[in-house]
Structure 1
């Protein structure tokens, strides 16, 4: 019966039909009745969970964009891009991509375990303060522009007499508009690219790839005054397939941001609700900037492989796959690094909800990426970290807890004395590192640890 159920499941997924717990349980009951002639089979959640474990099934959020995309338009665009590269004689350093995404910068998971007699789970009001942020980088990751953040407030109170590491703009709904994008292109993107190319002694030419959203205006409007910096729109319904920023760059930035958000909450001595209230939009911009800095050039380069790689520039007619020459040691190191980040976030989430509740990997990923509609992370990223977590703390002159408190004090002192923004960001990263190190040496005791052997 299980084999038949699994074959049915594979058939449905091959057709991209979503299959939930309830659908799978119903189909299991039907097959059981057909095969054994009885109707007393319940197909409980426990049975479904065991079935999933035996056959390696897992639950993910449906990404609604990819199946609606037009695969037939991809190849013509690649050819058009190759011709543009040949015409302008561009290198990967001169080709950029930009895209925006929403960020609920104060939201925590809304799931919890309850007692059997509880019918619902009253809790704190969900904080759904949202901003839109835009990321932009060139194809080799050597030039990452400051994030553009769009909020509702024209002059946020938290920004008063303060420095922020991002470009900030405001709109009525905190969404991107054509006027904001045009302003960003001419006053941020063009100036940054020209300054970067002068510093590298590069030709003053650049191409920006963007999707065809109405908020991006038209290609005619997005050209520099000298005509050397221009834009090229991706074809409609293809961005989730080939746009570099949608190939996990934005998603990883959100992963790093939410990890930093959890650390910031847990390093505060107040309860979670009070800690969340204390986090301002200014501090959120610090967290976002540091998250963007953690996305390495290697990751950015890999996300361009679907439409651009070294061989495309040297021989535009080649079918060469650049991923084939990535050293195995480098690839393995990158995958383990992302896997460790996911595991760290899971441990931090469990610290916020208490010892009696365990956040599953599915719930963790649902919270990390619930405010987006991007491609899922590679299956290979779900590997276990290789290093064992030490069970006892190594004797140190300065403990991690003391370091966390010191960095907190130093950060406040630096803010009050108008320290350079770069120094504030360094202090924040050091505070996060101290907390992560402290988490790794604290191992939660099990009830069996208290039994005498």
Structure 2
């Protein structure tokens, strides 16, 4: 054997050091595979890993995605080992995030004391030591830094408005209107009928019976009005009975005990949106109000987050200029239409969470581009270089529900009061220690179900029934004037049903005789 060959031999007794990779690296590699632009061999070479390692990551894709997206572990973590006392760890992590969202300094001893307190309340028998603290910090990518001074909220409204006006002009100069977004949440009493409005007037929705009848809705659109993002609806139950058998929801849906937006939900929503814009190779400016549920989010690739000055959203928030109000007006009209149909059919009106999602989807579709543009301009989203004016949207815009015979319902309150009854409903609040403990204890048991109106379970319609229904819809379109705009939607559904029928036919013919 030559001396050169001997040099290549591994030294006896030494093992090759294995290179480990972060959860973020694994997530990005899986995302590259799913995009399908590059081969697996190219992707493996890109991340400097053997092909079989990439195959292992793909096999565990779901677990890796959950670890990355749900913030179970910091993205720079390399192993996905969980804590021995998961409930206490989750409580401490929630408390830590809430404290930092409120700019409360948190030291190591304080975190240990808080962990011991939560462990006692949750019945976990373990000693919170400095060793546990170090492991906790590594699991969640936490570092303690010296607090030299937190930025204070702007007290002077005039100064705040001047500072925001300057920031806004920078945003308008650097981004096109199609890439400037605003997001805000609103509470919605989704089962509220006109004759029940007086009972809710002035009621603070902090819990109890009334809170079970509400959801929180995240509304987001761009400045051009041509891109309305799918609504995010937050309810009280993860799996309401009405979702049984449903595979596709009309809106995104999340849940927690109080149906509020939380910092965890906001971060997950924003990161998912960031990945979407990243795939589209866009750079987006997103403005939100300054509240504990809207923390600063790290590692965003496509979105730059801007916070509106405190106590100025009535002037600076485009969603508050009429977009959310318009959404609710359309929703209330759909509720009234549903009530009228129930009266005609001599049936009791039932509005489930699923019904609410369907009507919110339809209501959001009916908020016009012109209305959104107007509301952004009214919030001063206007470049100093242009002479645009915030012209009001047409008052005679067509609305299929404008002819609703409201008098037939004998409304006890004006429709405007009914439509805006929940405009001041709380959608977010700083979480207390009791809330944290109660949520974790509730999660130990079977997921809470929201009380839903009882009705027979629906069966999935057969393809034959769907095909027959499409024939009726086609007849209606062809026998009604000014329905040409419906043909593309009809054809899209027709193609999907035909494709499903072909697949079903192939399976029948392939079945063994």
Aligned residue for 2:395, secondary structure, equals helix
What's the offset of the Cα at 1:160? 1.8
In the alignment, structure 1 segments of 5+ residues that lack a partner are 1-67, 114-124, 375-411, 435-453
Q: 1:337 pairs with 375, 378, 397, which one?
A: 397
> Superposed, which structure 2 residues align to 1:12-51 within 5 Å?
none
> In structure 2, what is the equivalent of residue 99 of structure 1?
184
Root-mean-square deviation (CA), in Å? Answer: 3.7
Residues 171 and 285 of structure 2 are in contact (CA less than 8 Å); yes or no, is this contact kept in structure 1? no
Mapped pair 1:75 → 2:162: yes
> In structure 1, what is the equivalent of residue 420 of structure 2?
369
Specify whether residues 147 and 111 from structure 1 end up closer, same or farther in structure 2 by C-alpha distance, changes over 3 A only: closer
What's the offset of the Cα at 1:191? 3.2
What's the offset of the Cα at 1:151? 0.3
> Superposed, which structure 2 residues align to 1:145-294 within 5 Å?
145-162=229-246, 163-187=248-272, 189-195=273-279, 198=280, 204-218=282-296, 221=297, 223-224=299-300, 226=301, 228-269=302-343, 275-276=348-349, 278-294=350-366
Matches of 2:388 and 2:323, distance apart in 1:
20
Instruction: Render the CA deviation track for 1:256-279: whole Å, top value 9, x for unaligned.
Output: 00101110121124788x633x32
Matches of 2:258 and 2:212, distance apart in 1:
13
Residues 172 and 383 of structure 2 are in contact (CA less than 8 Å); yes or no, is this contact kept in structure 1? no
What's the offset of the Cα at 1:96? 0.5
Specify whether residues 250 and 371 from structure 1 end up closer, same or farther in structure 2 by C-alpha distance, changes over 3 A only: same
Matches of 1:135 and 1:301, distance apart in 2:
15
Matches of 1:413 and 1:129, distance apart in 2:
23
Matches of 1:192 and 1:160, distance apart in 2:
29
Aligned residue for 1:209, secondary structure, equals strand
Residues 182 and 222 of structure 1 are in contact (CA less than 8 Å); yes or no, is this contact kept in structure 2? no
Specify whether residues 128 and 69 from structure 1 end up closer, same or farther in structure 2 by C-alpha distance, changes over 3 A only: farther
Matches of 2:218 and 2:315, distance apart in 1:
19
Specify whether residues 341 and 235 from structure 1 end up closer, same or farther in structure 2 by C-alpha distance, changes over 3 A only: farther
> In structure 2, what is the equivalent of residue 401 of structure 1?
none
Specify whether residues 212 and 311 from structure 1 end up closer, same or farther in structure 2 by C-alpha distance, changes over 3 A only: closer
* TM-score where L is the length of structure 1: 0.53
Q: 2:225 pairs with 141, 144, 153, which one?
A: 141
Specify whether residues 126 and 265 from structure 1 end up closer, same or farther in structure 2 by C-alpha distance, changes over 3 A only: farther
Q: 2:216 pairs with 125, 129, 132, which one?
A: 132
Matches of 1:416 and 1:176, distance apart in 2:
35
Specify whether residues 172 and 111 from structure 1 end up closer, same or farther in structure 2 by C-alpha distance, changes over 3 A only: closer
> In structure 2, what is the equivalent of residue 351 of structure 1?
408
Q: Which has the larger radius of gyration?
A: 2
Matches of 2:225 and 2:257, distance apart in 1:
32
